[in-house]
Amino acid sequence: MLERLRKSLEMAPVVKFGDYDYFIHPVTDGIPSMDPVVLQEVLDNICIYCDFDCDMIVGAEAMAIPLMVPLSLMTGVPYNIIRKRRYGLPEEVSVRQTTGYSSKDLYINGISRGERVVLVDDVVSTGGTLISLVRALRSIGAEIVDIVVVVDKTTSIQDLESKLEMGIKTLVRVEVRDGKVVVLN
């Protein structure tokens, strides 16, 4: 399963952002171009593993978008983009996103108390984005039904799950060794 995704990850180039090893892949960066067969494989597997008995699919701009749009079409569940731009709407919630290589504000609009959401992300490395988003969604009063991430690059997904007090469904686990992406599962 996920053979095409695995092979494409193993071929992904790795660049350095300071001391941070960053791999470049169509699912996580939109470059190089996305093979629709790989995307379909990813989407089909997300639908197998994830509970879409929810009110909304949510994810952060930008790389969750190419996952959320087709998932919305496949499941009939609306999607909501957590944006990098402030709109100033009355119910807007600001959340600080901190990753392994940057920090910025994200803005949540259009999610209300009691709504059941599935959180989708392309890759988890430090867990900073997921921790911030889960805390913000819970502060709004949204119920997080499921979290699904395509690529797990953490040192311990169990530690992150413990911090979030919920499970995270991931499709593949990778690490970068000697400038190469190694798929671990």
Q: Is the pLDDT of residue 165 over 80?
A: yes
Q: Is the pLDDT of residue 101 over 70?
A: no
Q: What is the pLDDT of residue 103?
A: 74
User: What backbone phi and psi angles, to 5 degrees, belong to 72?
Assistant: -60, -45
Residue 176 has, within 13 A of its CA and on its CB side, a CA count of: 16
CA 102, CA 132: separation in Å to the nearest integer? 14
| Averaged pLDDT for residues 117-138 | 94
Q: Show the tokens assigned to 96.
A: 């600080």
Q: Is the pLDDT of residue 86 over 60?
A: yes
| Averaged pLDDT for residues 150-175 | 96
| Torsion sign, CA atoms 104, 64, 99, 149 | positive
Provide the residue range defining the domain that includes 109. 3-183
Nearest to 13 by CA among 171, 177, 180, 169: 180
CA 70, CA 26: separation in Å to the nearest integer? 15
Q: What is the pLDDT of residues 8-40, one digit of tens each?
A: 999 999 999 888 889 999 999 999 999 999 999
Q: Check if the beta carbon of residue 142 is closer than 8 Å to that of residue 133.
A: no
Q: Is the pLDDT of residue 100 over 60?
A: no
| Averaged pLDDT for residues 156-162 | 95
Among 31-45, 87-101, 108-122, 139-153, which stretch is predicted with the lowest mean pLDDT?
A: 87-101
Q: Is the pLDDT of residue 66 over 70?
A: yes
DSSP strand pairing (116-124 vs 143-152): parallel
DSSP strand pairing (103-108 vs 93-98): antiparallel
Report the alpha-carbon angle 106-111-114, nearest 5. 135
Q: Check if the beta carbon of residue 147 is closer than 8 Å to that of residue 123.
A: no
User: What backbone phi and psi angles, to 5 degrees, belong to 102?
Assistant: -160, 175
Domain count, the chain: 1
Q: Is the pLDDT of residue 98 over 80?
A: no
Q: Give the CATH number of the domain where residue 101 resides.
A: 3.40.50.2020
